[in-house]
C-alpha cells in the first residue's frame, strides 16, 4: 500500500489528463520534495515567477530537496517527451524558469553554500540567491562578481553572464565560473546541478576575490 503522502499526490495528479496514472505514481514515489499540480491548492502561487506578466501553466512543479529529486524529475519528463524548466531564483524576465504543459523543477529548497577560503573557491546549489551566497562568502572576507539585485538566483545569472558591482575589476559573473560539464566531460563540482535543454548537468564553482568594503553592497 502506498504511503499517505504518495496517495495524496497521486490523487491530485490523476486529475491531470495529460499524464498516465501509473506514471504519476512513479513520479510521486521517486521524489522526496513536494509535487504540486494544477488541482493543488497552492498551484497558482507555486507557478509564479518574478515577472508577473508571465502566465504559464506547467503540468507539475516539483520542489526538489536534493540531486536525487532533480534526476528523477528529468528522467520522468524525458521518458514522456515533456518540456522541462528549471527554476533557480525565478528572476528571468522572459519566464524561462517555467513552462506550459511540462515539468518545472523548483530548486528553491536547495540552498547549500560551501566556501573554501584557502583555495578561494565556493560551491553552491542551484536554489541559492545572490544575497544568500554573499552572506556566506562575506564571512570570509571574500566575494564573487554577482548581480546588482540580491534576489536574483546564482544559477541563471551565472549562465546568462552576470554584471555586478565589482565587474569592472574582476569581470562578469561567468568569468569567475570554473567549469561547466555536459555529458561525459570532466566537471569541477557536483554541488550545483541543473539542466541544459537536453540531458546535460550543470556543475559549477566560482572563483572568490578578496572583498573590499564596496563589495558588500552587492550582498
pLDDT (0 to 100) of residue 47: 95
Same domain, 81 and 160: no
Which of 88, 106, 124 is a domain's end point? 106
pLDDT (0 to 100) of residue 6: 58
Same domain, 28 and 83: yes
Q: What is the CATH number of the domain that holds 210?
A: 3.30.465.10
pLDDT (0 to 100) of residue 155: 84
Same domain, 82 and 167: no
Which of 76, 106, 136 is a domain's end point? 106
CA 24/CA 41 separation, integer angstroms: 18
Per-residue pLDDT at 215 exceeds 50: no
Same domain, 151 and 74: no
Same domain, 138 and 84: no
Q: For residue 129, what is its C-alpha cell?
A: 540567491
Same domain, 124 and 213: yes
Among the ranges given (62-71, 152-161, 191-200), the one the predictor scored with the smallest mean pLDDT: 191-200
pLDDT (0 to 100) of residue 8: 56
Same domain, 66 and 117: no
Q: For residue 35, what is its C-alpha cell?
A: 509535487
Mean pLDDT score, 25-46: 89
Phi, psi of 173, rounded to the nearest 5 degrees: -55, -40
Confidence band, pLDDT 50/70/90 cuts, at residue 174: low
Domain span at residue 97 reads: 4-106
CA 38/CA 61 separation, integer angstroms: 9
CB 191 within 8 A of CB 125: yes
The pLDDT tens digits of the residues spanning 126-173 come to 899 989 998 998 899 888 877 788 888 888 888 777 777 777 777 777
CA 162/CA 145 separation, integer angstroms: 8
CB 100 within 8 A of CB 58: yes
Which of 75, 106, 137 is a domain's end point? 106
Same domain, 101 and 117: no
Q: What is the CATH number of the domain that holds 76?
A: 3.30.43.10
User: Considering its fold, how many domains does the chain have in total?
Assistant: 2
Same domain, 122 and 89: no
Same domain, 166 and 84: no
Phi, psi of 158, rounded to the nearest 5 degrees: -65, -45
Amino acid at each position: 500500500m502506498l504511503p499517505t503522502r504518495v496517495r495524496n499526490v497521486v490523487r491530485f495528479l490523476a486529475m491531470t489528463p495529460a499524464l498516465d496514472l501509473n506514471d504519476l505514481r512513479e513520479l510521486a514515489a521517486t521524489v522526496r520534495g513536494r509535487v504540486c499540480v494544477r488541482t493543488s491548492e497552492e498551484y497558482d502561487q507555486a507557478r509564479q515567477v518574478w515577472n508577473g506578466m508571465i502566465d504559464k501553466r506547467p503540468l507539475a512543479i516539483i520542489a526538489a530537496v536534493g540531486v536525487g529529486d532533480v534526476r528523477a524529475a528529468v528522467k520522468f519528463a524525458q521518458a514522456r517527451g515533456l518540456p522541462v524548466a528549471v527554476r533557480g531564483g525565478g528572476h528571468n524576465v522572459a519566464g524561462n524558469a517555467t513552462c506550459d504543459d511540462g515539468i518545472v523543477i523548483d530548486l528553491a529548497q536547495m540552498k547549500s553554500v560551501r566556501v573554501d577560503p584557502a583555495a578561494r573557491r565556493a560551491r553552491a546549489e542551484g536554489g541559492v540567491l545572490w544575497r544568500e551566497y554573499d552572506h556566506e562568502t562575506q564571512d570570509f572576507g571574500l566575494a564573487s562578481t554577482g548581480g546588482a539585485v540580491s534576489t536574483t538566483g546564482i544559477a541563471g545569472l551565472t549562465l546568462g553572464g552576470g554584471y555586478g558591482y565589482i565587474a569592472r575589476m574582476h569581470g562578469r559573473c561567468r568569468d569567475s565560473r570554473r567549469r561547466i560539464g555536459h555529458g561525459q566531460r570532466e566537471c569541477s563540482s557536483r554541488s550545483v546541478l541543473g539542466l541544459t535543454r537536453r540531458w546535460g548537468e550543470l556543475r559549477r564553482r566560482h572563483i572568490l576575490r578578496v572583498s573590499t568594503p564596496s563589495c558588500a553592497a552587492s550582498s
